[in-house]
Amino acid sequence: MTAELRAPATGQVTTSARAVSSRWSGMWSLPEVRWAAAATVLFAVGGVSQLAGAPSWLWWALYLGCYAAGGWEPGLAGLKALRERTLDVDLLMVVAAIGAAAIGQVFDGALLIVIFATSGALEALATKRTEDSVRSLLDLAPEQAARLDAEGAEEVVEAAALQVGDVMLVRPGERIGADGQVLAGAGAVDQASITGESLPVDKQAGDEVFAGTLNGTGVLRVQVTRPSGETVIARIVAMVEQASATKARTQLFIEKIERRYSVVMVAATLVLFALPLVWGVTVQDSLLRAMTFMIVASPCAVVLATMPPLLAAIATAGRHGVLVKSAVAMEQLGTADQVAFDKTGTLTEGRPQLTGVHVLAGAGLSEDRLLAQAAAAEQGSEHPLGRAVVQAARESGVALEAADDFSSEPGRGVRARIHGSVVEVASPAYLLDGSDRSAVEMVAGLQDGGQTAVVVRVDSAVVGVLALADRMRPGAAETVDRLKALTGLAPVLLTGDNARAAARLAAHAHISEVRADLLPADKVSAVHDLQAAGRKVALVGDGVNDAPALASAHVGIAMGRGGSDLALDTADAVITRDELATIPAVIALARRARRLVVANLVIAATFITVLVAWDLFGDLPLPLGVAGHEGSTVIVGLNGLRLLRNAAWRRATRTES
């Protein structure tokens, strides 16, 4: 393997450490995160001080510091919205917190401030992470490229400076600097980042290549056909940004009525304070009744009715290998009714495997002997197919003989001398001339089945054919069956791989609807088509080419181990252990969380209705109002936390509907 290809592997640990450090520093660069952290610390210290019996002035000062740290920003935003004649729940929460402090319930107000400050910080962090990952996508394309002038002299230039018609020289192990057409040379190009194809594609004169893809073997001369701003990789960036900008902000169920609730609650509080004054009630009594109303009508219990089930479900899913990034994402998982899968690296393992050794009649070889000779010839190859053949031989216990006079021809195959015999392992197009009908028919049958065929020739006589394919992940078919039972709709396959390979995989995975040969924009269109039919699509993918569709889907799910950084950051959930069986389980868990949310909202609404009616039409004592308000909060909180138990996950893995 070339030095250029080895470098990323040797620096993997350092790069990962830098990435973690960068994300931590990026998180603390956000003012929302810093203020939310300060408010939380002040609230925690204030609570400890109050429980420890410290002087009241101390914990009051700490709670008021929490008010200032966590409340100034939403308060300011709410005042700006008010100036534009809109009323949002952030301002309502700040007013409710101040009202709580005014009647001595400073703890309740500080709790509201912490909840809303933390929510705003998480939203700001998610936004920044997505923006950073989109910007870093352009790093796939190299910064520099080797340009050839009219005399063939080589000159290193900025990739962004390449113009249509320029000719690039691309060596093995280098990334291609621009979209273009091969003028001369041959090589195997890994373009999985663009098309999702599991195997490198052999390129020769006349073939199209894409910026950011990796040239594995051979030297290519490529003529630029698109400027840097119009390459496929640049269009992927634009699609992700557009999907993130135009995709409506999905809100939690209770947030959808926050504006009306805010207006009604503020109006009712003002009326409840003003009307008694007309009837001669003292200002202090009117204020006490109005503040009692604001406390018992404040949506603290409603907020906790929504969040604990979703957060508990997030924690439980995380313990079992699924990272769900937010409560909104968990709710979206619970409403998804159509699952779409990418193929390479998602339903499959993303690397070629030897699937069959076929000896031609009359060759006089056993399967083990044919595999041994092919693997011996491939020992010096850097091609993924060659490495797959060698790996299969070693796993089978076949002894590999020494090979002499090894040579490799990019885009075709290898040739070596083994014990005096010349062994060639190469593409059918290179070794078959049509005279051996049995070999031609065998190759055609394998290719029709979606497999890659490699021909083995010994001393100019074709002796066998090797079949290779990307292996399906364990449990893929069972996962598809469970998802169909859970959602009522069969999953679909959306892939950039060729139709034959896609059909073969789909048949084994029990998927009937297949859309193949899709570029990133085509996947987005496919997702939009499904959504136009009224479906809420959960898309499962792993590559850069999946990112625009992940951003456009109702909910995006990424495979964690082999997923690209952009896919991981764009997705709403990440399967950290690459276990497909966790997908139906987390959807079932999310559906149960949504049912608990509805139950909690009924409980919270009942408490609020009873307490508000008592305050409006009776004489609700403030201590009893506070006790009822806090009691409802505790009840809905504990009810939601039931999903923290391991039994909740076990139940989700058994749920079929």
Across the beta sheet with 167-170, the strand order is 154-158, 144-148, 167-170, 220-224, 180-184, 208-209
Please identify which residue in the block is written with the tokens 């994300």. Answer: 23
Q: What end-to-end distance do the CA atoms of the chain give, in Å? A: 50
**What is the three-state SS of 459-497?**
CCEEEEEEEEEEEECCCHHHHHHHHHHHHCCCCEEECCC
Beta pairing partners, 353: 469
The amino acid at 103: I
358 φ/ψ angles, rounded to the nearest 5 degrees: -120, 115
Within its chain, how far is the Cα of 344 from the centroid? 15
Distance (Å, whole) CA 641 – CA 636: 9
Distance (Å, whole) CA 166 – CA 222: 8
Give Dmax over CA atoms of the chain in angstroms.
114
- What's the token pair of residue 375? 């693997």
> What is the three-class DSSP state of 634?
helix
Within its chain, how far is the Cα of 110 from the centroid? 34
Instruction: Decide: 144 and 160 in contact? Cβ < 8 Å.
Output: no
- What's the token pair of residue 464? 């066998």
Scored b (16 or more CB within 10 A) or e, 483-511 reads bbebbeeebbbbbbbbeebbbbbbeebeb
Distance (Å, whole) CA 9 – CA 11: 5
- What's the token pair of residue 160? 């962004």
* Residue 564 Rama label (left phi>0; alpha psi -120 to 50; beta): beta
Please state the length of the chain: 657
Beta pairing partners, 401: none
342 a catalytic residue: yes
539 φ/ψ angles, rounded to the nearest 5 degrees: -100, 130
CA atoms within 13 A on the CB side of 51: 6
Within its chain, how far is the Cα of 517 from the centroid? 22
Distance (Å, whole) CA 200 – CA 215: 9
Distance (Å, whole) CA 466 – CA 202: 18
Query: What letter does residue 140 receive in the DSSP assignment?
Result: G
Distance (Å, whole) CA 573 – CA 541: 11
Which among 342, 572, 578, 615 is annotated as catalytic?
Answer: 342
Q: Active-site residue numbers?
A: 342
